[in-house]
Amino acid sequence: MDPGNNTRISEFLLLGLSNEPALQPLIFGLFLSMYLIAVFGNLLIILAVSLEPHLQTPMYFFLSNLSFGDICFTSTTIPKMLWNIQMQSKVITYEGCIIQMYFFILFGTLDTFLLTVMAYDRFVAICHPLHYPVIMKPSLCGLLVLASWAVSVLNSLLQSIMVLWLSFCTDVEISHFFCEVNQVVQLACSDTSVNDTVMYFATGVYAGASLTGTLYSYSKIVSSIRRISSVQGKYKAFSTCASHLSVVSLFYCTILGVYFSASTTHTSHLSAVASVMYTVVTPMLNPFIYCLRNKDIKRALRRTIGMAAI
């Protein structure tokens, strides 16, 4: 099969979250608000880390990269959804769908691996505090972020190219508010067995490696904290990773909840509604989690906002 030659369509239809015209203004306002909060909240963290010298540490370096990934992650889906609601259209071009799919997988995978890298950073800080400056050198931090980008690009490139080999006929309705790869593959009128195998294998390998790394780091962290004799020492050690642990729990619980609910209900519409949790809600809440639980970030944000006001 020649890639693209058998594709007899030029566009898909994104059915969105609801077909009720009366609900469209409410959905538009709600998602616009969440999108703006997510973008400006994560942008504030990036600015605070960039402008404050005492935040020039590996932990905040990884946090600023995570915030950048969250901004890009939400920006791959929500602006197109808002545009379609405003224009009263459901159309997305074939090329636009592939591009959206590519960047959605890219930044979704990037967030996953950055959370794993941040877990490793907390593992070194708590389990090997004396060697932390030696181990977490700027060169290693840059290499870890670069490796996360490389793995994410390879994953998104692989899955997007596999979709390009498929041919689509007349069924172009996607029961989602963005081009989710699994739903797009299901619309193909050619054999998708290879795509399904590659997709599940790649997802299993990348997600499994990331989750295993995170769980291993936290198992060592818990073991190290338990060996601390004083209660105050335990609390201080745990507080350094509490924000990250909250973000990791929110990220994985929402994703697992979406896919478990989709597998049990077998309803595409419910899957689309549930996926709002990890595509919009989680990136929106991440800045609040770090700001509310981190005194350094709160002080830096107050100074950054004060400088902007002046």
Q: What is the pLDDT of residues 192-250, one digit of tens each?
A: 888 888 888 888 888 889 989 999 999 999 898 888 888 887 887 787 788 888 888 88
CATH code where residue 269 lies: 1.20.1070.10
| Angle between helices 58-75 and 282-293 in degrees, nearest 10 | 150
Q: Is residue 41 part of a domain?
A: yes
Instruction: Specify if 1 maps to a domain.
Output: no
Our measurement of the distance from residue 190's CA atom to the centroid of its chain's CA atoms, rounded to an integer in Å, reads 30
- C-beta of residue 139 within 8 angstroms of C-beta of residue 108: no
Number of separate domains in the chain: 1
* Backbone angles phi and psi of 93, in degrees to 5: -65, 160
Residue given tokens 């080999």 in the structure block = 165
In a domain, 166, yes or no: yes
- Reported as a pLDDT band with limits 50, 70 and 90, residue 4 is very low
Contact 210, 112 (CB under 8 A): yes
| Cβ-proximal residues to 265 (8 Å cutoff; 6+ apart), any chain | 271
Q: How many residues does the chain have?
A: 310
**pLDDT at residue 254 is higher than 60:** yes
Separation between Cα atoms, residue 225 and residue 218, nearest integer Å: 10
For every residue of 184-197, DSSP letters joined together read HHHTBSS--HHHHH
- Determine the structural domain holding residue 52 and report its residue range: 11-309
What is the band of 270 on the pLDDT scale with cuts at 50, 70, 90? low
Q: Confirm whether 192 is domain-assigned.
A: yes
- Asked whether residue 214 is assigned to any structural domain, the reply reads yes
What distance in Å separates the CA atoms of residue 108 and residue 213, rounded to the nearest whole number? 17
CB contact at 8 A, 107 and 152: yes
pLDDT of residue 5: 43
pLDDT surpassing 90 at residue 62:
yes
- 4, part of any domain: no
Is residue 85 a part of any domain in this protein?
yes
Is 122 within a domain? yes
Task: Give the model's pLDDT for residue 292.
Answer: 66
Query: How does strand 11-14 pair with strand 173-174?
Result: parallel
pTM: 0.88
